[in-house]
Amino acid sequence: MADTAKAPRKRLAIITTVWKYLSHAQHMGDRFLVGYPWEGRWHRPEMDVVALYVDQKPEGDQSQIRADEFKFKVYPTIAETLLCGTERLAVDGVLIIGEHGDYPVNAKGQVLYPRYEFFEQCVDVFDKDGRGVPVFNDKHLSYSFEKASQMVAAGKRLKFPMLAGSSLPVTWRLPSVEVPLDATIEEALMVGVGSSDPMDFHALEAMQCMLERRRNGETGVKAVQLIQGPAVWQAGKDGRWSRRLLEAALARSTSMSGNATKDGRPQDLTHSGELEELVKDPAAYLIEYNDGLRATLLMINGAVSDFTFACRVRGMPQILSTQFLLPALPNVAYSACLMNKVEEMIATGKAPYPVERTQLVSGILDFCLESKVQANQRLDTPQLNVKYRAPRASQFGGAPT
Amino acid sequence: MPESHKISRRAILAAAPAAAALTVAGCDKSAAQPTKRPRIAALVTEVRRLSHGEVILDRFLEGFGWESGHHRPQVDLVSLYVDQFPESDLSRERAARFPQLKIYPSVEKALTCGGDKLAVDGVMIIGEHGKYPVNEKGQTLYPRFEFFQQAYEVFSKSGRVVPVFNDKHLSWNWEQCSKMNGLARCIGVPMMAGSSLPITWRIPPVEMPDEAVVEEAMSVGNGNPDSYDFHLLETIQCFVERRKDGETGVVKLQALRGDAVWRALEAGNWAAGGWDPQLFEACLCRSHMLAPAREGFNHVYPTPADMARMVKDPVAYRFEYVDGLKATMLLLNGLVGDITFAARIKGQSEPLSTLMYIGGGNETQPFNFDALVWNIEQFFLTGKAPYPFERTLLTSGLVAAGIDSLDRKGEWIDTPHLEISYSPTRHSTFRRT
């Protein structure tokens, strides 16, 4: 590699809401400034952050300190950030990190992070310049499926690669398993925790990265329903989600509360009756895919604090199950897995997995939360007719290559 | 009683006499049915939340998450000897809640279930945690050997042996380790021992390749000598024992502490008194708990000056094997909070490296004991140790030698008694499903 003609180092712009300790911008952005551990080496990306736009500067803001130390500039607008004070697009890649910061919350409980607005301003610059550069968008594209779809359409129109989403699809798994490509998945269940709408997004995308590998690829979602409270347990009894898959998912959890925290003993939460007591406000996100697959996200705060998945694959004697590992603070090593994918896209000009995954999940979440405010009704979702194919190769940490 | 269940020299030489013994064990004749669930006794120093006693016993009693379900072991924990009952003791609560489980006042009574002959099909010695004297070298004198010796006496009197699992190293003292091994061999007790590190998850899930010529190995982790050194040594050993031509044993060991460790770091290679720096980098880069060396950063690579500032009491064991392999174990509290491994393999440009994953701080459960208990259960069901007991005999000796070298201010200790040869299991035994 060292022998090839020295290509100029790629120049990156980061467009973010806030940059303070342990914000996404800090732990993701810093990977390009100080490097990150990768495959047993401290890896330093062959690219430089040259420009930063930061929307809010709360107490603890590190944007100027970082700019001073790492010799880049903080610009007052997104356009100037991408132009680096010139007349032409002056960067080779853009990271939009619109997570954290003080933004309004709508009636559906969605934080109105201005990712779409940031992206739109980038596209304005691309349009004027007649070309786009690779864009990474952290987490869901937008709280609004419509806006998310416009973003994907803009990327296609200007033919620039886009990568988006959560770190869960690319973090390590325990065990290190993958859904075989073209498998027939009979039923799937994801267990997640945390608040809506930041954490349910992570859980939904973790599930989607498994399901999209099924036979005939992703075909989109025809209906969703979000149910809450005792109706969640009743739905389990009615067979709308599988208690057996819940047992399989929880068998992968390492963070059960209840007796485990009281006196250490492990427990069979699925059958002991404790689950219903521990989880005061359960929610089930019931998803019906166009090809007939049914999948459920159970948000069970109070019982566990990790993200696990289980599904039945036709022909496999055992249920396939795993934990999406989120290594602890402060290293949050999962963000290194995600930034490695961003680095790959910027270096190669090719997104390692399709942005349509995140588009679809942005939509599933948006409509589930719509169901929540519409008295938990089942909603038909002809709009979520998003079709795509999963990459053949696994993309998660430590995946066999 | 079939011949093979009696103590004899022949039994010692037979590969697994206890597999058959299991089927006839028990307090009465009616136990002699092949479908009978093995009855297990545990000899424990104490049982309180998150003590090894609690985490192992509770997994037998309550089951645990394993593969895609809640696994309930196919053996019955029926008797306990508990050496100490601190205020937070949980053993009495467990015995009250599980009617088949009884606490007995002595090791002998626990093994005979109150009768006069061995009345169980397997024994666990869990001698970790509890208040025990600490000797002048800083070793806690856990009575694992004493527990074993008493079990041995019951076996001898009963004319029958059953499999024994010993948690962690065999003893703080090499003579006792060696004697435990000798007594077990003498009467043919199937033995299993060690740490949960060799069988826990690895991130990434890698194994030492078959026939690998290993040139140098390293494990970096947190914890203190006489405790976590053992886990790191078992980590090294479970990998390197798979090298070409198998295990040959260790000829000498040197333990460094304080500034001597930083001098070894600067030395830059084994011959100069240090280690392969790429192995060290690989270990730090596999960690998920690398303390940030700079304020305001969550993940940066530390400089040697950072490390010297952050680690108050660094400890290194450097040791050489009979076949020339070199290995280093580094305890770096303040820098890392987890245990990693790296090895230089001949013909490979990059080291093999991984994290021995036992948690990252968000867990409520010590899930590494799931894998340990699963393996102990298999041991009791089959009478065959799932991995070599000799591994732990060797690592127990390495701990004792390390403590001795620390006591002698870093002197090289010759270890002719650790020239222990053995073969690894054919298949990997770490958790990957």
> Cβ separation of B364 and A257 shorter than 8 Å?
yes
> Cβ separation of A331 and B359 shorter than 8 Å?
no
User: Out of 3.30.70.2190, 1.10.10.10, 3.50.50.60, 3.40.50.720, which CATH number does the structure's domain A10-165 have?
Assistant: 3.40.50.720
CA distance B48 to B55: 9
The residue range of the domain holding B34 is: 3-189
**Residue B385 pLDDT greater than 70, yes or no:** yes
| Residue B410, domain member (yes or no) | yes
| Tally of structural domains, chain B | 2
| Residue B85, domain member (yes or no) | yes
**Per-residue pLDDT tens over the stretch B55-87:** 999 999 999 999 999 999 999 999 999 999 999
Q: The domain spanning residue B40 has which CATH number?
A: 3.40.50.720
The per-residue pLDDT of chain B, averaged, comes to 93
Q: How large a percentage of chain B has pLDDT more than 70? A: 92
Asked whether B216 and A190 are in contact (CB, 8 A), the reply is no
**Per-residue pLDDT tens over the stretch B124-136:** 999 999 999 999 9
Q: Mind telling me how many Å the CA of B63 is from chain A's nearest CA?
A: 7
Specify the pLDDT at position B361. 77
Asked whether B338 and B288 are in contact (CB, 8 A), the reply is yes
Q: Are residues B99 and B242 in the same domain?
A: no
The beta-strand segments (E) located in A204-333 are: 221-228, 283-289, 294-299, 307-313, 320-324
Regions of chain A with pLDDT less than 50: 1-2
> Cβ separation of A40 and B298 shorter than 8 Å?
no
**Residue B224 pLDDT greater than 50, yes or no:** yes
Lowest mean pLDDT among A291-295, A330-334, B26-30, B237-241: B26-30
> Cβ separation of B62 and A331 shorter than 8 Å?
no
CA distance B309 to B328: 21
Q: Which chain B residue is nearest to residue A399, measuring alpha carbons?
A: B204
Q: Is A174 on the interface with B (CB under 8 A)?
A: yes
Asked whether B160 and B6 are in contact (CB, 8 A), the reply is yes
Q: The domain spanning residue B242 has which CATH number?
A: 3.30.360
| Residue B220, domain member (yes or no) | yes
Residue among A331, A332, A339 with most chain B CBs within 10 A, to mutate: A331
| Residue B346, domain member (yes or no) | yes
**Residue B16 pLDDT greater than 50, yes or no:** no
- Chain B residues with CB under 8 Å of A187 CB are none
Burial A225-259 (b: 16+ CB within 10 A, else e): bbbeeeebeebbeeebbbeebbbbbbbbbbbbbbb
Specify the pLDDT at position B292. 98
| Residue B44, domain member (yes or no) | yes
Specify the pLDDT at position B10. 41
| Residue B69, domain member (yes or no) | yes
Q: Are residues B174 and B207 in the same domain?
A: no
- Chain A residues with CB under 8 Å of B290 CB are 37, 331
CA distance A205 to A197: 12
Lowest mean pLDDT among A283-297, B214-228, B358-372: B358-372
**Residue B26 pLDDT greater than 90, yes or no:** no
| Residue B112, domain member (yes or no) | yes
Please, where in chain A does CATH 3.40.50.720 lie? 10-165
Q: Mind telling me how many Å the CA of A149 is from chain B's nearest CA?
A: 34
| Residue B390, domain member (yes or no) | no
Specify the pLDDT at position A4. 54
Q: Are residues B243 and B154 in the same domain?
A: no
B281, B288, B432 member nearest A331 (Cβ): B288
Q: Are residues B249 and B102 in the same domain?
A: no
Burial B68-102 (b: 16+ CB within 10 A, else e): bbbbebebbbbbbbbbbeeeebbbeebbeebeebe
**Residue B23 pLDDT greater than 80, yes or no:** no
Single-letter amino acid, residue A250 = L
pLDDT (average), residues B274-296: 98
Q: Are residues B148 and B235 in the same domain?
A: no
Q: Are residues B207 and B353 in the same domain?
A: yes
Q: Which of B189, B215, B242 is the C-terminal boundary of a domain?
A: B189
Q: Mind telling me how many Å the CA of B219 is from chain A's nearest CA?
A: 13
> Cβ separation of A30 and B357 shorter than 8 Å?
no
CA distance A118 to A103: 14
Q: Are residues B171 and B72 in the same domain?
A: yes
CA dihedral A372, A376, A378, A382 (to 10 degrees): -20
Q: Which of B157, B189, B221 is the C-terminal boundary of a domain?
A: B189
- Chain B residues with CB under 8 Å of A328 CB are 288-289, 360-362
Q: Are residues B412 and B264 in the same domain?
A: yes
Specify the pLDDT at position A5. 66
**Residue B172 pLDDT greater than 60, yes or no:** yes
Q: How confident is the model at residue B7 (pLDDT cuts 50, 70, 90)?
A: low
**Residue B5 pLDDT greater than 50, yes or no:** no
**Per-residue pLDDT tens over the stretch A322-366:** 999 999 999 999 999 999 999 999 999 999 999 999 999 999 999
Instruction: Kindly report whether the global pTM for this prediction surpasses the value 0.80.
Output: yes
**Per-residue pLDDT tens over the stretch A126-172:** 999 999 999 999 999 999 999 999 999 999 999 999 999 999 999 99
Residue showing tokens 């347990």: A233
Tokens of A377: 């009704």
Count Cβ–Cβ pairs < 8 Å, chain A vs chain B: 164
Three-state secondary-structure class, residue A160: coil
Q: Is A140 on the interface with B (CB under 8 A)?
A: no
Among residues A292, A65, A38, A64, the alpha carbon closest in space to that of A172 is found at A38
**Residue B13 pLDDT greater than 70, yes or no:** no
pLDDT (average), residues B261-279: 98
What's the complex ipTM?
Answer: 0.96
Q: Which of B135, B154, B189 is the C-terminal boundary of a domain?
A: B189
- How many beta carbons lie within 10 A of that of residue A157, not counting itself? 12
Q: Are residues B109 and B244 in the same domain?
A: no
Phi, psi for residue B257 in degrees, rounded to 5: -145, 145
Asked whether B57 and A265 are in contact (CB, 8 A), the reply is no
